[in-house]
Structure 1
Amino acid sequence: MNLDELVAIDVHTHAEVGRDGHSSLSPELLDASADYFHAHGNRRPTVGELADHYRARRMAAVVFTVDAEHATGHPRIPNEEIAASCAEHPDVLIPFASIDPHRGAAGVREARRLVADHGVRGFKFHPSLQGFAPDDRLAYPLYEAIEELGAIALFHTGQTGIGAGVRGGGGIRLKYSNPMLVDDVAVDFPDLRIILAHPSFPWQDEALAVATHKEHVHIDLSGWSPKYFPPQLVRYANSLLQDKVLFGSDYPVITPDRWLADFAALDIKPPVRLKILKQNAARLLFREESK
């Protein structure tokens, strides 16, 4: 991957369909998410199609699925498959994985194997969908392995469109995605690189507090059009957190084209804009400064 040739790095995109056509979510939850985001177009691009989409825009993208089999009963798309698909497009795709903390010791072994043998650089957690609190000791062996491996832990935070409007929210509990629950993780694993995904409605101030206070906690801006960002998020991104805020779209529910067009209208200082779009992610993902 030639960082100098990239105009942006999107740290939050989803692989929503496997090579065999298997979806990352049940049809009920997938439809509810599409309704929530008004995204009924190509909601299921293949990883190859995702690569083409970003290559045409001179962007790179982090790609992952969500493993929530314990809580939902829906089998995941295999992490190895996503990593292999990303390896076919190393110029634009960066593989992350997802392991349900309920997998226990088997999940820890899988994490080590994915990093060592498949080039995985991080792990996506969706506490509400996976049915666990981030500060639950259930997940601590997995965090310990991720920290030791030098990989990244990315946590969904705030409300989710998954299950929205479904009876009982599809059994999904929003409370698990309060970013303050990640504060203990940042304390107990001080060298773990953490990303709090999304503007964390209704806990935006909590996310800003944790990211400001904890050295290795970052925030990605995915899942919302920038024109709806809370003003305090824009203010912190433009000042105190300018080195810790990352471009993310949540593709395919929000396209990078739409996100970037709305981001261009925000009052962000030009040097900070460059940091958010690429430089901060390059440093976090590759532990180096991009030019």
Structure 2
Amino acid sequence: MGMPKNIKVIDAMLGIPEAEDRSEWFAPFRPLIKDQQTLQQFAMPAQYMFKDIPQSAGVDDFVKWTVDEMDRFGIERAMVGWNDNATSRRAKEMYGERFFFDLPCDPNRGMEEVARIRRIHAEVGLSALSVFPAGTLPQVAINHKYMFPLYTVASELGLPICINAGIPGPRIPMETQKVEYLDEVCWFFPDLKVVMRHGGEPWADLAVKLMLKWPNLYYSTSAFAPKHYPKAIIDYANTRGADKIIYAGYFPMGLSLDRIFSDMENLPLKDEVWPKFLRENAVKVFNLK
């Protein structure tokens, strides 16, 4: 039942900082935040949920620092958000065998965003698109009509799309991320692979029910330490959902790899589930070679 040591892990959500101050990761939705504690005291908007956020003081090469951390814990490859900047390009050029990329998207940009997706995919070779519905400005629900051009282009390009689902960590409204909204998306786009991010809570039971219903709906464990994975998700992984649950961390945004992998030792997965959870499901869903 313990975590095997011989699996080359694939992490479906990891970040490469630009600097020790990582506020740029949260700038797009900062105008939504009205809570003064968040604005005045937090280094990241959901800081109340996380302890011991990883620090990188004194680091002068963040790409290499990230790869070194991956090496410490046997992470062979990781999906990071493509920012179309020097850091992303350097990561691809120097460590193309270690990183693959999702593209964070803004549904409010309409067809301009669709054109951007096509351009970057042609240049980079994306593995996924991603959207944080509650973090768009203005907020756009999972099943809103503004999202449908993104679902369409993802389906046309054969790319999965990762969507934050459940109550958002930052103190912003939750309405746009209700798990039930995925039902309509999966119905309208039966060939599109959809990957839930960030827990789906408090609707984890509903998330499982929808994964049973829809063949191309998946769940990644991003932003949760293994100690706090929903019980419904663990039970599903150990039974009918072994092919549906994908390991994703949250390093260095909120969790250290030390915390994640120390917790992982006590995660009660069946022996045959571990390879799928830590590697094989990601290879399948993100079309990795």
Please, what TM-score do these two structures have when normalized by structure 1?
Answer: 0.82
Aligned: 1:207 with 2:207: yes
Which amino acid in the other structure matches residue 199 of structure 1?
G
Q: For the structure 1 residues 106 and 279, does the alpha-carbon distance in structure 2 shift closer, same or farther, using more than 3 Å as the test?
A: same
For the Cα contact (< 8 Å) 1:100–1:125, is it kept in 2?
yes
Q: Aligned partners of 2:20, 2:259: CA distance in 1, in Å?
A: 27
Q: Aligned partners of 2:90, 2:47: CA distance in 1, in Å?
A: 24
SS at match of 2:239: coil
Q: For the structure 1 residues 20 and 259, does the alpha-carbon distance in structure 2 shift closer, same or farther, using more than 3 Å as the test?
A: closer
For the Cα contact (< 8 Å) 2:133–2:140, is it kept in 1?
yes
Alignment-derived partner of residue 105 in structure 1 = 111
Aligned: 1:34 with 2:47: yes
Percent identity reads 22
Q: Aligned partners of 1:120, 1:245: CA distance in 2, in Å?
A: 21
SS at match of 1:112: helix
Query: 1:99 deviation in Å?
Result: 1.3
Q: Residues 155-191 of structure 1: CA distance to partner in whole angstroms, max 9, x if unpaired? A: 11122222xxxxxx3xx21121112212211111111
Q: Residues 239-279 of structure 1: CA distance to partner in whole angstroms, max 9, x if unpaired? A: 11100100111111112332222122122111101110111
Query: 1:52 deviation in Å?
Result: 2.7
RMSD: 2.5
Alignment-derived partner of residue 192 in structure 2 = 192
Q: What are the residue-to-residue correspondences of 1:262-277 with 2, within 5 Å?
A: 262-277=263-278
For the Cα contact (< 8 Å) 1:82–1:95, is it kept in 2?
no
Q: Residues 23-61 of structure 1: CA distance to partner in whole angstroms, max 9, x if unpaired? A: 122483743323431244427983443233213433111
Q: Aligned partners of 2:250, 2:128: CA distance in 1, in Å?
A: 16
Which amino acid in the other structure matches residue 218 of structure 1?
Y
SS at match of 1:286: coil
Q: What are the residue-to-residue correspondences of 1:49-68 with 2, within 5 Å?
A: 49-59=65-75, 60-64=77-81
Q: Aligned partners of 1:20, 1:230: CA distance in 2, in Å?
A: 31
Identify the structure with bigger relative contact order (alpha carbons < 8 Å, sequence gap 6+): 2
Superposition misfits of 4+ residues, deviation over 6 angstroms: 18-22
Alignment-derived partner of residue 138 in structure 1 = 146
Q: For the structure 1 residues 173 and 16, does the alpha-carbon distance in structure 2 shift closer, same or farther, using more than 3 Å as the test?
A: farther
Paired positions, count: 264
Query: 1:13 deviation in Å?
Result: 1.7
Which of 119, 123, 130 aligns to 2:129? It is: 123
Q: Aligned partners of 2:119, 2:7: CA distance in 1, in Å?
A: 29
Q: Which runs of 5+ in 2 are unaligned?
A: 1-5, 31-38
Query: 1:89 deviation in Å?
Result: 1.1
| Structure 1 stretch displaced more, 220-229 or 13-22 | 13-22
Q: Which runs of 5+ in 1 are unaligned?
A: 66-77, 163-168
Q: Residues 123-145 of structure 1: CA distance to partner in whole angstroms, max 9, x if unpaired? A: 11111111110111111112101
Query: 1:153 deviation in Å?
Result: 0.3
Q: Aligned partners of 1:21, 1:267: CA distance in 2, in Å?
A: 33
Q: Residues 75-122 of structure 1: CA distance to partner in whole angstroms, max 9, x if unpaired? A: xxx335564233131121111111100011110001111111111111
| Structure 1 stretch displaced more, 246-255 or 23-32 | 23-32
Which of 148, 151, 155 aligns to 2:159? It is: 151
Which of 99, 116, 123 aligns to 1:93? It is: 99
Q: Aligned partners of 1:222, 1:20: CA distance in 2, in Å?
A: 21
Q: For the structure 1 residues 16 and 83, does the alpha-carbon distance in structure 2 shift closer, same or farther, using more than 3 Å as the test?
A: closer
